Structure 1
Amino acid sequence: MFYQLKRSARELLLLIAFIFIGGIFLWNYSTKVSLDTVLVVNGRKVPYEDYQRILIRELERARENKEKELTEKEKNIIKRNILSSLVQEQLLLEEADKLGIDVSDEIVANTIASFPQFQRDGKFDIRLYYDFLRYYYRTTPEEFEKEIKNSIKTRMIRRILFQSVKVTDEELKREFERRYPDKSFEGEKEKFKKELLNERMNMLYYEWMNEQFQRAKIINNLPRIEKISG
Structure 2
Amino acid sequence: MTTDHSQPSQGESQKAAIVTGASRGIGAAISARLARDGFAVVINYANGADTAGDLRRKLEASGGRAMTFQADVSDASAVARMFDAAEATFDGVDVVVNNAGVMVLDTIAASDDAAFERVMNINLKGAFHTMREAARRLRHGGRIINLSSSVIGLRMERYGIYAASKAAVEAMTAVLSKEMRGRAITVNAVAPGPTATDLFLDGKSPETIERLAKLNPLERLGTPEDIAAAVAFLASPDGAWINGQVLRANGGMV
TM-score (norm. length: structure 2): 0.24
Greater relative contact order structure (CA < 8 Å, 6+ sep)? 1
Q: Which has the higher strand share?
A: 2
Whichever structure has more helix as a proportion of its residues is 1
Larger Rg: 1
